[in-house]
Amino acid sequence: MLVVWYAALATIVVWAPVLAEIVAGERALDKVDAAFRWLGRHHRPVTVLALLIVGFFLAAHGLVLVV
């Protein structure tokens, strides 16, 4: 099951814009492009937040396993 989740998350950068183009056309690509530009401007805070979330999850999971 984890392999499926990893594969979905690892390939989201590819399949999300393709799916958006199929579903909504050119206007969806404008929004996806704007989102990627925003992510490019805010790369460091987004990375820190993502790592904090994963770190807290792993720490909590470790504590649950110990207790």
| Whole-angstrom Cα Rg for the chain | 16
pLDDT exceeds cutoff 80 at 3: yes
Where do we find the tokens 């504590």? Answer: 63
Residue 44 pLDDT: 96
Q: Is the pTM of this model over 0.85?
A: no
- Residue 29 neighbours by CB under 8 Å, 6+ apart: 17, 20, 21
Q: Say if residues 11 and 19 touch (Cβ distance below 8 Å).
A: no
Q: What is the pLDDT of residue 13?
A: 80
pLDDT reported for residue 52: 97
pLDDT at residue number 18:
84
- For residue range 32-60, list pLDDT tens digits in order: 789 889 999 999 999 999 999 999 999 99
**Domain definitions of the chain by residue range:** 13-66
Q: What is the dihedral of CA 21, 25, 30, 31, to 10 degrees?
A: -70
